[in-house]
Every structure is written in structure tokens, then in C-alpha cells.
């Protein structure tokens, strides 16, 4: 089983990103489970969401405390939250950032990867300039870094689950797939 934790701020589509990825993994033949850590919901507050995936039925229904990988939708979260808390060694921390953020928020135990999802979302006209919609770009980057789910599943999940601007969202995922940096191929 793989466990992924998503960090973001309320209103950035963090929960939707975890659900879209769950759909993509499901289409690629996995059992999935995705849910938010519900707090006091308000725009801008740190939020968490989880995704579990496995080739067998998933029985455990608790929060995720030891994620294999972490996705960070907003790099300013790094100042507020220890995103690597409880993380398994060797996991990826995929960050929405133009370059690898400086700081001691991770060490050699984790592998940072980064993609400028904000720019990609804006370039594709997703959301507004101040509130770009990041989740499909982050999905594309995730698929490249982890080597799964396959891009066909990502595209299919977007086509079936995203209510509008489907082509732009697919393009954002593809752009991010190519643009993501920092991982080992």
C-alpha cells in the first residue's frame, strides 16, 4: 500500500487534487481511498488530505501518519507546517514552486521535486491570476515523479471528473508532466 499526504491552503483545491488522483489510480486498476483531514474550514488555512492506494482492498480507515510521499500545493506552507512529519525515508516531497525552496524543512532522507504549477495554471487560463487552479497541474507532475499513474489514466480522470475547461486542465497536466524537476529518472 502507498500512502500520500497532501498539504495546501483552503481554497487551493488540495482535497480535489487527492480525489482526482484517486480517480486516476482507480482507472489504472488500483483500490483507492481518499479523504480530507477536516478542520475549521476557511480560505487560506492549512488543510490536509490523504490518498491510499493498493492492489488489494484497503481495510484501514485512519488518518495517514507515515506517508510514503507528500504533495505541497503552496510553498508558503513550508513555514507553517512540518510537511515531512512522520514521512517514510526516501519519499518524494512534490512542491508547487519555481525552484527548490531553501531551508531546513527536509534533509537527505527525503527527495524534493518541484514544479511551477501556479505559472502553468495561469498560462492555461485556469482560475484567476490570484487564485489559479493548481490541482490538474500537480497531478501531471505527480504522475511523472512517481512514474504512476499512467498519463492516460490522468487524462481520463480529468475528462470524466473535471466539470469544465477540460482541455485546458488536460494541457496543464501535460505541461507539468514535462516541467517538473528534481526527481531521478
**Binding-site ranges for another protein (CB under 8 A):** 19, 22-23, 26, 31-36, 38, 58-63, 65
Name the minimum Å distance from CB 114 to another protein: 27
> Nearer Cβ to another protein, position 47 or 78?
47
Name the minimum Å distance from CB 81 to another protein: 18
Name the minimum Å distance from CB 180 to another protein: 24
146 sits in which H/E element: helix 135-146
> Nearer Cβ to another protein, position 153 or 172?
153
Name the minimum Å distance from CB 55 to another protein: 13
C-alpha cell at 46: 492549512
Q: What are the φ/ψ torsions at residue 93 (nearest 5 degrees)?
A: -115, 105
Rounded CA-CA distance 8/47 in Å is: 5
Concatenated DSSP letters of 120-138: HHHHTT-B-SSSB--HHHH
Bridge partners (DSSP) of residue 8 are 47
Q: What is the DSSP letter of 151?
A: H
> Nearer Cβ to another protein, position 38 or 99?
38
Rounded CA-CA distance 3/98 in Å is: 26
Among 119, 22, 18, CA closest to 70 = 18
> Nearer Cβ to another protein, position 35 or 183?
35
Name the minimum Å distance from CB 145 to another protein: 22
Q: What are the φ/ψ torsions at residue 181 (nearest 5 degrees)?
A: -130, 165
> Nearer Cβ to another protein, position 31 or 183?
31
Say what the alpha-carbon torsion angle 137, 61, 82, 101 is, to the nearest 10 degrees: -20
Amino acid at each position: 500500500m502507498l500512502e500520500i499526504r497532501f498539504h495546501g491552503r483552503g481554497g487551493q483545491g488540495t482535497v480535489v487534487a487527492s480525489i482526482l488522483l484517486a480517480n486516476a489510480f482507480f482507472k489504472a486498476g488500483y483500490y483507492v481511498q481518499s479523504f480530507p483531514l477536516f478542520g475549521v474550514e476557511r480560505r487560506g488555512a492549512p488543510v490536509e488530505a490523504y490518498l491510499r492506494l493498493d492492489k488489494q482492498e484497503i481495510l484501514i480507515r485512519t488518518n495517514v501518519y507515515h506517508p510514503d510521499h507528500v504533495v505541497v500545493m503552496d510553498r508558503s506552507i513550508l513555514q507553517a507546517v512540518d510537511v515531512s512529519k512522520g514521512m517514510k525515508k526516501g519519499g518524494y516531497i512534490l512542491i508547487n514552486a519555481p525552484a527548490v525552496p531553501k531551508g531546513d524543512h527536509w534533509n537527505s532522507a527525503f527527495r524534493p521535486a518541484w514544479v511551477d504549477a501556479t505559472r502553468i495554471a495561469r498560462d492555461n487560463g485556469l482560475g484567476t491570476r490570484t487564485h489559479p487552479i493548481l490541482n490538474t497541474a500537480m497531478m501531471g507532475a505527480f504522475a511523472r515523479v512517481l512514474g504512476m499513474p499512467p498519463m492516460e489514466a490522468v487524462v481520463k480522470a480529468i475528462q470524466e471528473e473535471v466539470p469544465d475547461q477540460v482541455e485546458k486542465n488536460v494541457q496543464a497536466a501535460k505541461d507539468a508532466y514535462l516541467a517538473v524537476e528534481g526527481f531521478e529518472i
